[in-house]
């Protein structure tokens, strides 16, 4: 499912889909993306947006994902 799937009735032309697909690039930045998300969650806790418990849950989940990346066990879903 794409972000715009509810707004349009037709499908994206294959050449436009190829141009806009960023998964190979996203995969290369995945570990840095997780680290950035962890830092952002910490900032949100400091700002009072997240409780300590919410932050811990997010940090734990992101840590699990990072571990899967380092062990090459994370499976990217390419079915959209």
d(CA 40, CA 64): 17
CB 23 within 8 A of CB 76: yes
Q: Quick: pLDDT tens for 47-61.
A: 999 999 999 999 999
Centroid of chain to Cα 52: 22
pLDDT tens column, 22-35: 777 888 899 999 99
């Amino acid at each position: 499912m794409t972000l715009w799937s509810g707004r349009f009735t037709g499908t994206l032309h294959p050449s436009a889909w190829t141009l806009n697909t960023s998964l190979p690039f996203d995969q290369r930045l995945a570990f840095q993306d997780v680290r950035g998300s962890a830092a952002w969650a910490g900032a949100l806790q400091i700002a009072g947006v997240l409780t300590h418990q919410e932050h811990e849950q997010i940090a734990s989940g992101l840590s699990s994902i990072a571990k899967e990346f380092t062990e090459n066990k994370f499976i990217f879903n390419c079915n959209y």
